[in-house]
Amino acid sequence: MARDENTNERLKAERKEKILNGSLKLFATRGLAATKISDIADACEMSQGLVYHYYKNKEAIFNELIAHALNKMIEACLWLEAQELPVAQKIHMAVDGLLTLMQQKPENAYNYLLIAQASLSEAIPEEAQQLLQEKTPLPHEIMGRIFALGQEEGSIKPFPPQEQALLFWTTLKGLALQKAIHGATLQLPQTSLITGMFLKETYEPKPDSN
């Protein structure tokens, strides 16, 4: 009995997962209003009715995606902050990591694209709007703390850390958008061009010594 229920639960979760995966790209590239449930059903290779079996409506799917994207972003920031490294190296890592991610798996940028879409549109569900308002500041604050620390260390330029954090995110998000839209065509800039906004001196990663 209990086993069957567990299996069912798992299957249900997998289905929901499938719907989320299928709809992420659609919402991210077309927006909420322009994405039809029938599009989602097609993308997931299931019937329109079945989508409603798992989600109450279109907004519910959208909200869950937003929540997920925001959480991933915050997690990544916290992870970065927790690393025991000089700030210059952290910034380099963060920028380089994000650029590489965009380069290799543009679909990983869909989360950013989704957030961008959502935050620049007023036509989104109440719940998503609240989530955004509540959680967007966090990544900014965390990066602000990191920049402030870097100024104490002496490696970061002496601008207000909050401004630096703002610029950090707008720049990276902007690039993620460009990349997600133009795909392979777009040649992303090199890491040090971006880090040059923040670092007094270019951080030179040590060559691997093995």
Stretch that binds a copy of itself, among 6-14, 23-31, 85-93, 96-104 (CB under 8 A): 23-31
Minimum gap (Å) between residue 171 Cβ and DNA: 33
Q: Which residue type sits at 176?
A: A
Among 54, 32, 36, CA closest to 125: 32
Size of the site for a copy of itself (CB under 8 A): 42
Q: Which of 130, 189, 204, 205 binds a copy of itself (CB under 8 A)?
A: 189
Binding mask of the shown chain, residues 26 to 65, with x at each position contacting a copy of itself by CB under 8 A: ---xxxxxxx------------------------------
Partner whose footprint covers residue 120, from a copy of itself, DNA, none (CB < 5 to 8 Å by kind): a copy of itself
Binding mask of the shown chain, residues 24 to 53, with x at each position contacting DNA by CB under 7 A: -----------xxxx-------xxxxx-xx
Among 141, 195, 189, CA closest to 165: 141
At 199 the three-state DSSP class reads strand
The contacts found for 57-60 with CB under 8 angstroms, 24 or more apart, are: 58/32, 59/32, 59/125, 59/127, 59/128
100 sits near a copy of itself (criterion: CB under 8 A) = no
151 sits near a copy of itself (criterion: CB under 8 A) = no
85 sits near DNA (criterion: CB under 7 A) = no
End-to-end CA distance of the chain: 54
Where do we find the tokens 């970065």?
80
